[in-house]
Amino acid sequence: MEGNSAKMARMAQEPGRTFIDAETSIDGKIHGKDATIAGKFKGEVNLTGTLVLSPTANVDATVQAELVEVGGAFSGKLTARKVVVLETGKITGTLDAGQLVVREGAVLNGPVAAGKAVSGGSGGAIAPAAPPAKS
């Protein structure tokens, strides 16, 4: 199994991926396809692909992405089709996810809407479960 530092180094090399390392602090906006944040970021993130917050990340932002993996500290508003909160992850704020995976040890503080189609943060009711199949 690949170690965390090896995974971060590999992701930093991926073409088209924005990478903010653990020694960096940025206030601003990120727009693009994929990004990995290992340092401090405050602002807005709008991605068509994946956002990865490493265990050293400290993010205070409004985030919209297809897939978000949270291994560090996040505060703000997070909207994504799928969110995975790792054992080291901590989310404080509003979470809106079509699919939510929370690993043992993760922390969630704030309102959570999961299990529905994410519609760009416009809200809406949670879709009812499909009725059981008849045999």
Look at 3 and 56; give whichever has higher pLDDT.
56
Report how far residue 83's alpha carbon sits from residue 58's, in angstroms, rounded to the nearest whole number: 17
| pLDDT tens track for 14-60 | 677 889 999 999 999 999 999 999 999 999 999 999 999 999 999 99
Report how far residue 65's alpha carbon sits from residue 35's, in angstroms, rounded to the nearest whole number: 10
In this prediction, residues 90-104 reach a mean pLDDT of: 97
Secondary structure E strands in 33-121: 34-37, 40-47, 50-53, 58-70, 73-85, 90-102, 107-109, 112-114
Domains in the chain: boundaries = 4-114
For residue 129, the model assigns a pLDDT of 43
Q: How far is CA 97 from the centre of its chain?
A: 9
Of the chain, the percentage scoring pLDDT greater than 70 comes to: 74
Angstrom distances, CA of residue 40 to CA of 26, 51, 60, 109, 110: 6, 14, 8, 20, 21
pTM for the structure as a whole: 0.78
For residue 6, the model assigns a pLDDT of 58
Report how far residue 10's alpha carbon sits from residue 12's, in angstroms, rounded to the nearest whole number: 5
For residue 45, the model assigns a pLDDT of 97
